[in-house]
Structure 1
Amino acid sequence: MSIPQSSSKPLAPPTHKDLWRRIYSRVGSNWKGLALAAVFMAIGPYTQYLLVTGMQSLLDQGAAERADIWKVPLAIVGLISLRGVCNFFSDYLLSWSANNVLLGMRRDMFEKLLTTPDHEFKKGDSGRLLNRFTVDAGNVAGFATDVLTTIVRESCLVVYMISLMLQTSWQLTLIIILTMPVSVLISKQFTRRLRKINRETISMNAELTRTVNEAIDGQRVIKLFDGYRYERERFSYVSGRLRRFDMRAATADAALTPITQVITAIAVATVIAFALWQFQHGGLTIGSFTAFLFALGQIFDPIKRLTKVSSATQKMLVSAESIFTLIDQPSEFEAGQGDFTAPVKGRIEFKDLSHRFPDAESNTLNQVNISVEPGQTVALVGRSGSGKTTLVNMLPRFVLPLSGLVTIDGHDISHLSLNNLRRQLSLVSQDVVLFDDTIAVNVGYGSLHEASEAEIRAALKAANLLDFVDNLPQGINTQVGENATRLSGGQRQRLAIARALIKNAPILILDEATSALDNESERQVQASLETLMKGRTTVVIAHRLSTVQNADKIVVMDGGRVLEQGTHKELLARGGAYCNLHQMGLN
């Protein structure tokens, strides 16, 4: 039985309708806070309506004739204070909602990241991936609430001011309303251009992140190989393109405002001309005319902000497309839910295994058959590209077979749950991954059980690292730094060995665990590995003779096929492919 391959065909991006629905379903989960914020946003602009109507009444009735003139300044202070309070609470509630949305999206993205198939990480798109967590998520959460704020607050103000203008003169108001569709049509044309520019900007932001990240990771190579000029040119190219995209967006965004203002100015000029005619013929009072002009002046800024909503929504939608594409990405293929019914002894069989990577011209593995008995050590040797790593990656189902099957103690691993299967496996590789935390956390890493201090110290002792750790200022609570850069290569390897000892899995995978070490470090690590390998089924990928000559079985691979199997002595006696590799030092 074979496990179906994950589809390499990219998912179709969500439609704009779907993006809007998914964004505001998340925003809507905070509906209580948003509803209260909307109330405050509606009250704030209403204070401006009251101020204008109050001034109209004051001008029409005459200030000298009013006995309660002292109430006017108090009313102004009170209304402006009320508007400030409303703005504060609405902004606070919207920020609370935006941060909840941001938290939820980042949590969902990280959950997806943890279950993303191994082959997706080999695409080398780490800059784009990091960009989704930082820039894209912030854009969606921020713009989603900003759009709501603008639409509710500015629309309320526009409605209040238009209603005041209608009360004053419906003829003048009609002139203003007729010019609005022209502004909308122009804004729509600019929106299309901004959508494309924003998508390109986000992609280039990811490229910038990747370029800087590679410069940080490869700083020693850059210095030793004099790569300054190349890196400067690469950074200049990416940052220059990003600047051009930003300027195109800024140009389109900036052009929208003056064009809208020109149309508005034509409308205002017409209104003022008609208002003066009405005033001369008794159609308007001084208070009404002043109130109309004041309301008209108040309406410009909110309309301008409403026209800019389209620019914000395009950035939001492009970022949302990036985020939901990640969230919608298929997780690791979970074929079965079975568990081992008895303690695992470690008998492994690879039966008629074949594999081909997507878009590859030929198979990586071809009809591979290997059996490993419990407690045996099997070494896989062969030239680079012979399929050794692909075969080993079948065990934890990082790679899925095209045909054939893998069994552990007779159980087809495709019928087992991933969690139960991976509990039976430990890995020590050349590229040790350690986290920026303490030695204790790194050694006891994982959720299988809470490792006690005694267990951690015992594992460190078995890995020949306890004396070194005890001499550190904070012992097992010493921070190792990012990817344990404060430790030597051999020390990192032995920490990984201690971590594998804590897990105590019955099957051990050693992926070229000593190939990058000097002779002294290799000797120390090899001694630790011998302790780790006792009583476990061990599959070793190695290039060095010292690692494989004591293996119970050596499997020679080339071109995805098994050429020969046997012990070190047996294979040397045959004088075949292993003998040739042995003469070349297995390199």
Structure 2
Amino acid sequence: MSLDTDLNTDLKADPDTGARRPDESLEALMPVATTAQTRRAAMALLRPHRGLVALAAALLTAATLTGLATPMLLGHLVDVVIEGEDVTRLITLTGVALAGVAALSAVLNAVSHYYVIRAGEQAAAGLREEVMEHALNLPLAQVERAGRGDLVSRVTSDVRVVTSATSEVLPKFVSALLTVGLTIVGLGVLDWRFAVAALLAVPIQARALVWYLRRSKPIYAAERAAEGQMAGRVLDSVGAADTVTALRLGPAHLRAAEDKSNAVVSLSLRTVVLITRFYGRLNLAELVGLSAVLVAGFFLVSDKSVTVGAATAAALFFHRLFSPIGQLLGLFDDLQEAGAGLARLVGVTLVERRPEPADPPAPRDASVAADGLVFGYRDGRDVLSGVSLAIEPGERVAVVGTTGAGKSSLVRVLAGVHEPRHGSVLLGGVPRAELGMYGTSRAIAMVTQEVHVFAGTVADDLRLAAGPDAGDGELLAALEAVGARSWVEALPDGLRTRVGEGAWSLTATQAQQLALARLMLVPAQIVVLDEATAEAGSSGALALEASAEAVMRGRTAIVVAHRLQQAARADRVIVMSEGRIVEQGTHDDLAVGTGVYARLWAAWSDTRPAQAPTDQRGSAISGGNVK
């Protein structure tokens, strides 16, 4: 398999087995900025801190000039010794001067590096904030098409690489660049022929650098993309662990993750080979340059154009260039990686976002209407085909159907996660496009089976929905409504207990109840539960059913029914098949006869326990599942 093919490998569902298999496409990934776009973004980030940048540059220049005094002092000492003068006192003074130069250079370097790092960190902070602001406001459909792994890798590993470059690589690079430039000037001050001799190494170094950059840039860009794909594959597999296990797809997912990891490792090894060959070329340049300076010094001293001390200083000057030149050219390796990461981060900010209306209209009520919805995840295959429906304010509607019928796609289009290719959606009589993203989120809210516990305290998690000024009483009331108050208060610090990754671990039922409590706190009068109680059938089934009832009470509710007793409690049942509504009506009307729902109900009834507990409406609250 070629490198490009290996990098562009993704997984898609096999139509026969349901397993995920390779797909040669990266078109879903978010864009990557061009070199020009990345450069403009970097300049824009540094512009607010140009004062700091100027101060840091001045200090770095002073530190470099101070360091150049060392070869000059040693060269002068050589001349004095050759002339046969009493050098005891001079050596003492030279030692004191060298110590002073070293101390002053160290102080100036430390202060200048502080300001370089400060300017870089502030610019990086601005970049992180801008990228996060864009990431949080990206169209959800764009995020889903690209895959969470791609976005997560950008706002984590790419941000880390860029931040490391601004705090560590950039100061070293600027310092090395100044050292090289001013040292060449110093050689010219001694004698212009020393500078010319030293510059003989430049063509070799330049050719080595061009050779390296031409080969390393695409590899680094491919490596960052491959890491994004690897993260996406791992996240998808972990997020769907139950399904993967149930369908015995573990080996296929492991092979897919292994393929992604191997692609990253292969690219990393290629960079190591490139770096080794690159440094070999740099060593050759150092040999040529130093030889040229020594030969020039021999002839210049022979015809008395310069003193032995000046020739010594010139050799020391050039020898002093070994480290900064190697560091300067070697740092291109880190800058290449940081540049690739920065291009991916800037790419996030380039994703077009639909402009928010300045003064969106308010929905008249909590109704939902859709007309002629056509939607597909990929061109050429529609998941929804001409779906129309009307839901009255306060009505509870259950959407049922077999796997692949289009249930989740329908509610996601209604909630604004996806945009239909044709058709329209009205919330409260207002076209969803006129409401904008924020207006839509205030009108309709959704909870799915895949919930997230945000890192922080329980109170912080809930205030993401309630607002930063929400009091503990309001949060406890929401927890009480969904039946979660007792276990939250039993946590070590109650509402102040830290949860999420690396903190207190919540059970799947508790995490779902926390998500439903967040839904209680949002003002939306239309709620969508997309298999949000799929934990049912476990020990948390009854708790989640009660939690969902509390969330839906007094609101318009659309429920993708994981279990048919949820449909039995709804005011209306919508049955979907192959992206169309094939039946709708009350449970009692649809459960008789030979229709699709009747067959589903009969199959479910056969799996229901003989003495299943019932709710106040007489519907069983445990039993089989309909996927």
Normalised by the shorter chain, which TM-score bucket? 0.7 to 0.9
2:440 paired residue among 412, 421, 436: 421
Moved more, 15-24 or 217-226: 217-226
Identity %: 24
The residue identity in structure 1 corresponding to 2:435 is L
| TM-superposed deviation, 1:17 | 3.0
CA distance in 2, matches of 1:110, 1:157: 37
SS at match of 2:527: strand
1:176 paired residue among 160, 182, 198: 198
Structure 2 match to 1:553: 572
Structure 2 match to 1:568: 587
Aligned CA distance change for structure 1 residues 172 and 514 (closer, same or farther; 3 Å) = closer
CA distance in 1, matches of 2:50, 2:95: 37
CA distance in 1, matches of 2:503, 2:528: 21
Query: 1:338 touches 1:417 (CA, 8 Å); kept in 2?
Result: no
Aligned CA distance change for structure 1 residues 12 and 87 (closer, same or farther; 3 Å) = same
CA distance in 2, matches of 1:213, 1:552: 37
Unpaired stretches in structure 1, ≥5 consecutive residues: 1-7
1:347 aligns with 2:367: yes
CA distance in 2, matches of 1:576, 1:232: 41
The residue identity in structure 2 corresponding to 1:356 is G
Higher relative contact order (CA 8 A, sep 6+): 1
Query: 2:200 touches 2:292 (CA, 8 Å); kept in 1?
Result: no
CA distance in 1, matches of 2:254, 2:422: 47
2:352 paired residue among 318, 330, 340: 330
Aligned-residue CA RMSD in angstroms? 3.5
Structure 2 match to 1:83: 105
Query: 1:434 touches 1:483 (CA, 8 Å); kept in 2?
Result: no
1:295 aligns with 2:314: no
The residue identity in structure 1 corresponding to 2:350 is D
Moved more, 403-412 or 309-318: 309-318
Matches within 5 A, 1:127-138: 127-138=149-160
Query: 1:23 touches 1:144 (CA, 8 Å); kept in 2?
Result: no
| TM-superposed deviation, 1:181 | 2.4
CA distance in 1, matches of 2:286, 2:503: 63
CA distance in 2, matches of 1:147, 1:313: 7
Moved more, 211-220 or 166-175: 211-220
Structure 2 match to 1:541: 560
Moved more, 116-125 or 386-395: 116-125
Moved more, 65-74 or 245-254: 65-74
Aligned CA distance change for structure 1 residues 92 and 226 (closer, same or farther; 3 Å) = farther
Structure 1 match to 2:453: 434
1:369 aligns with 2:388: yes
| TM-superposed deviation, 1:87 | 0.9
The residue identity in structure 2 corresponding to 1:64 is E
Deviation string 1:125-181 (CA, Å, 9 cap, x unpaired) is 444333323332233344467675456433443344334433444334333324422
CA distance in 2, matches of 1:519, 1:256: 60
Moved more, 189-198 or 421-430: 421-430
Number of matched residues?
A: 577
Aligned CA distance change for structure 1 residues 134 and 9 (closer, same or farther; 3 Å) = closer
Structure 2 match to 1:398: 417
Structure 2 match to 1:357: 377
CA distance in 1, matches of 2:297, 2:118: 45
Please give the TM-score of this superposition, normalised by the length of structure 2. 0.81
| TM-superposed deviation, 1:429 | 3.4
Matches within 5 A, 1:39-438: 39-61=58-80, 62=83, 64=85, 69=90, 70-123=92-145, 125-143=147-165, 149=171, 152-207=174-229, 209=231, 241-331=263-353, 333-334=354-355, 336-341=357-362, 344-359=364-379, 361-438=380-457
The residue identity in structure 2 corresponding to 1:358 is R
Query: 1:484 touches 1:492 (CA, 8 Å); kept in 2?
Result: no
The residue identity in structure 2 corresponding to 1:535 is G
Structure 2 match to 1:25: 44
Deviation string 1:70-92 (CA, Å, 9 cap, x unpaired) is 53332221111110011101111
Deviation string 1:102-130 (CA, Å, 9 cap, x unpaired) is 21222122112211222233346444333
Unpaired stretches in structure 2, ≥5 consecutive residues: 1-26, 605-624
Query: 1:439 touches 1:477 (CA, 8 Å); kept in 2?
Result: yes
| TM-superposed deviation, 1:318 | 1.8
CA distance in 2, matches of 1:9, 1:468: 42
Aligned CA distance change for structure 1 residues 176 and 510 (closer, same or farther; 3 Å) = closer
Structure 2 match to 1:4: none
The residue identity in structure 1 corresponding to 2:471 is S
The residue identity in structure 2 corresponding to 1:412 is P
SS at match of 2:36: helix
CA distance in 1, matches of 2:312, 2:330: 28
CA distance in 2, matches of 1:216, 1:378: 31
The residue identity in structure 2 corresponding to 1:139 is V
Query: 1:424 touches 1:505 (CA, 8 Å); kept in 2?
Result: yes
SS at match of 1:30: helix
Deviation string 1:371-402 (CA, Å, 9 cap, x unpaired) is 22222212222222222222212232111122
Please give the TM-score of this superposition, normalised by the length of structure 1. 0.86
